[in-house]
Amino acid sequence: MEEVLIEMKVDYLNLPVFPTERLSIQLELIPGNRRAFDIDNRVKAVFDVLEGYLFENDSQIDHLLVIRKPMDKGKARCRVTISEIKEQSSS
């Protein structure tokens, strides 16, 4: 099994926890080899890891963008960007 690094830019002294906010998440999947993989399986694995730490439940996610990036041989990783969706006022 290939080891995958999840890159998170987090200030560990002030961990951004989103207990109830509506969220937008961008995942950049960077494979470490040429083997084919299903994007949906990777997304579920990342959400399982982050649930309970950065957000309470993956049902908070309203917007999801997943990007498969070019291979970086031997350096598989997933870059995760999480942002709160601010309520939009209706006109």
Tens-place pLDDT, residues 8-35? 555 554 555 777 789 999 999 999 999 9
**Average pLDDT taken over every residue of the chain:** 82
Q: What percent of the chain is predicted at pLDDT more than 90?
A: 47
User: What Cα–Cα distance (Å) separates residue 86 from each residue in 22, 23, 35, 58, 89?
Assistant: 8, 9, 38, 17, 9
pLDDT for position 8: 54
In this prediction the pTM is: 0.74
Q: Which residue has the higher pLDDT, 66 or 11?
A: 66
Mean pLDDT score, 30-56: 90
